[in-house]
Structure 1
Amino acid sequence: MKKTVLTALAGLLLASATWGQKKLTEATIYYDIVINTGNDKPSKAGMLDGATNITYLKGNDSRADMISSLGSESVIIDGKTGGVTILKDYGEKYMMKLTAADWKNYNKKYEHISYTIENEFKTIANYNCQKAVGKLSDGTTFTVYFTKDLVPVNTEFLYINKNLPGLVMEYEASNGKTKVTNTVSSIDFGAVPLSKFDLPESGYRIIPSAEKSKK
């Protein structure tokens, strides 16, 4: 009898935790960007400090717009094909198209992330967020805070979500001495217009792939 009661209680606790979660299928996520260059002298990277990133999710489609004083950059992912279009507007306009394989290669350093989830919490945009330390295959580590209250069905828009049980609400990236921190400021769960994923038909110089752009 005691075993039956304990089993029932465990089931109720599990159901309660599940009910508290929200499947994130459609939303607009606003990120604030803070850049620390580790240098007192003004730099191009430093001019991106205070930029914003607005990410639109609709099913498996996504669009991320980074807007700064220097210009704007967008990454649009087609959920059906896995193809990605990158738009850049920094005085000159460029459009770069990647296949699903190109995109996977573009993010290959994140393919085998392992996480250590720590017993440290903080509130971000009114969500309780837990700290996790990610480790890349090359040994590089970085810190994220994620919430179990929101579980994205689409993780392609943010590769570092792939091995975590919730939405990343704050994450950092480093390039040399420059450290970039993205923090969610708010989330709008209203309907996202399909037009957000439309591609411009003119006005952009086409660059076929990331590899050709490097060459």
Structure 2
Amino acid sequence: MPFGLLISVFGYGQKIFSEGTIVYQVSTSVHGQPLQSDVKSFQQIKGSHTKVDLVSSVGKTTTIFNSREGEGAILQAYGAQKIMIPVTKENIQSRNSKFDHVVFEYLAETKNILQYNCTKAIATLEDGTQLEVFFSKELLTDNTDIGFQFGKLPGLALEFTSKLGERTVTYTATSINFEPVPIQNFDLPTSGYRLLNYDESQKKR
């Protein structure tokens, strides 16, 4: 794709989101009572490169991955503690494996998010867990490694809600920017982080 072609027309009313930034507001509630409201997720895409920052008042978790090279890292920075966990394509596939056999039920309910028409879907995972998703068929992506796509969702997810017991977490897109993302944004740090093996990091969860 030519550098200047940030949005390519896939069909009438459809665009390929191959480069840009999406910001999500992350809202958490327990028993219907709101908790944290200062959490945001920043998702940057540039071709095969993805970067997702989950930022709160207590720190930040960043996932950087290059699907073409099959490598990246998870960066955790909370207070004085800074950890880098190198990841491979297999690690990412394992982390997203819960979406491998997801079943979507498409509903008639719709809403408008950031001027995009969105359709509601219920995503049921293999373990029975369900998520509510509002996605727009007007926005497509050719990067299938985006976790927010929940597998084979036929459009970009602009809002999604998950429940774990009495805790409800909702991601809602608050902005979409199609401007070019500097390739340097996807560079991994070369110092300042303590290295931790991926398998060891899973044991600490």
Tell me the TM-score normalised to structure 1 length: 0.84
Q: Deviations over 1:153-200 (max 9, x none)?
A: 112122534322110010122333221100101100000000110111
Is this contact kept in 2: 1:27–1:188, CA < 8 A?
yes
Once the two structures are overlaid, the 10-residue window that deviates more, 16-25 or 193-202, is 16-25
Is this contact kept in 2: 1:170–1:181, CA < 8 A?
yes
The DSSP-based 3-state class of the residue aligned with 2:170 is strand
CA distance in 2, matches of 1:177, 1:67: 23
Q: Which of 79, 88, 111 is the matching residue for 2:100?
A: 111
Alignment of 1:43-192 (within 5 A): 46-47=35-36, 49-91=37-79, 92-158=81-147, 160-192=149-181
Unaligned runs of 5+ in 2: 1-8
Q: Deviations over 1:24-80 (max 9, x none)?
A: 11010010110012386x9xxx44x32111110000110011111111110111122
Unaligned runs of 5+ in 1: 1-15
One-letter amino acid of the structure 2 residue matched with residue 19 of structure 1 = Y
Is this contact kept in 1: 2:99–2:151, CA < 8 A?
no
The DSSP-based 3-state class of the residue aligned with 1:56 is strand
- Residues 28 and 90 (structure 1 numbering): CA distance in 2 closer, same or farther, change over 3 Å? same
Residues 1:194 and 2:183 aligned together: yes
Return the structure number with greater strand share.
2
Runs of 4+ deviating beyond 6 Å: none
One-letter amino acid of the structure 2 residue matched with residue 162 of structure 1 = G
The DSSP-based 3-state class of the residue aligned with 1:163 is coil
Is this contact kept in 1: 2:10–2:16, CA < 8 A?
no
Q: Percent identity?
A: 36
Return the structure number with greater helix share.
1
Is this contact kept in 1: 2:38–2:56, CA < 8 A?
yes
The Cα RMSD (Å) is: 1.9
